[in-house]
Amino acid sequence: MQHTIKADTGWKIWWQLTRPHTLTAAFAPVFLGTMIALTYGKLHFPLFFAMLIASLLIQMATNMFNEYYDYKRGLDTEHSVGIGGTIVRNGIKAKTVLNIAFALYAISLVIGIYICSQTSWGLAIVGLVSMSIGYFYTGGPYPIAYTPFGELVSGVVMGMLLILIAFYIQTGTVTADAILISIPSMLLVGAIMMANNIRDLEGDKEGGRKTLAILVGRDKAISLLALFFIIAYGWIIALVITSHLSAWGLLVLLSVPKPIKAIATFRAHLLPIQVMPAMKHTAVTNTLFGLLLGIGILIAHIL
């Protein structure tokens, strides 16, 4: 059955280019890292907002690099789902998308200079490596997204590393507890990538990708996605039991219905357009998990 994709118009073209449903992967870790830092002292709000804006810009740019290179490699068509679609549906020149992505990188670089000037210039290396990974995720001769390591790399950089950077710029250090609390976020950001690769499995296979979902097969990939969710929630329960977190950390359990719906949707449907709700549930899981955990840490700190 052929599904008609409605093209966006006006400002919606540019908004969809950012792939807004993915931006939570940048917001939630920064918020969580900052809330963890709150238990160590006062917060520096200009640094928090600078980190948040830079992270969002880098995520937007990464999405645009994805849009550009998937188009150049012939993976995106007018009927592709989960993409911005500005090139294949709205007629925006591919070069324009690429230039906007580099412009966002330039702005985030300026913000990064401010952050380093207020904290440590050693962060410049971490930031540049992170930006490079954002570009090479779909750019360059050997894109990370075309390998079985996409979930691992995106999880470490957009999950764990963002939390630890947000924590570091507030405290000037990285603690064992901060690392332990960041692990579920790493898994949930990786889950977003896994969900994306499950949805696009057939198209990616035709395009020559070797994603983890392709290597293990659809059924096992869905089981692996479920395992990501189970470990993430189980990890928080273990941290509460071992007193690394207060019982308020269990607020994350309020988000459990979302991953359950994601897995159920993937099990019940095959077509990319049919499993888009599963993608949304996975992204929302990451957002709610980070927000609820951050709120739980905040409440424990206040009490």
pTM: 0.88
Containing structural domain, residue 105: 11-302
What whole-number distance in Å separates Cα of residue 46 and Cα of residue 165? 15
44, 120, 226, 292 from 278: Cα distances, Å: 37, 40, 12, 20
Domains contained in the chain, number: 1
Q: Is residue 75 part of a domain?
A: yes
Q: Which of 96, 92, 285 is nearest to 190 (CA)?
A: 285
Share of the chain above pLDDT 90, in %: 67
Instruction: Classify 80 in phi/psi space as left (phi over 0), alpha (psi -120 to 50) or beta.
Output: beta
Residue of higher predicted confidence among 11 and 38: 38
Q: Is 302 exposed, middle or buried (0-12, 13-18, 19+ CB in 10 A)?
A: exposed
43, 73, 108, 255 from 61: Cα distances, Å: 28, 18, 10, 29
Residue of higher predicted confidence among 63 and 220: 220
Q: Is residue 255 within 8 Å of residue 285, measured between CB atoms? A: yes
DSSP category for residue 172: S
Q: Looking at residues 273-294, what average pLDDT do you find?
A: 94
Q: Is residue 50 part of a domain?
A: yes
pLDDT greater than 50 at residue 5: no
pLDDT greater than 80 at residue 18: no
Q: Is residue 1 part of a domain?
A: no
Q: Is residue 5 part of a domain?
A: no
CATH code assigned at 29: 1.10.600
What whole-number distance in Å separates Cα of residue 204 and Cα of residue 80? 11
What whole-number distance in Å separates Cα of residue 275 and Cα of residue 82? 10
Assigned token pair, 253: 């359990």
Q: Is residue 4 part of a domain?
A: no
Q: Which of 102-111, 204-213, 291-300 is the least confident region?
A: 204-213
Q: Is residue 213 part of a domain?
A: yes
pLDDT greater than 60 at residue 84: no
Sign of CA dihedral 105, 111, 31, 177: positive
Q: Is residue 165 part of a domain?
A: yes
Q: Is residue 184 part of a domain?
A: yes
pLDDT computed for residue 90 by the predictor: 67
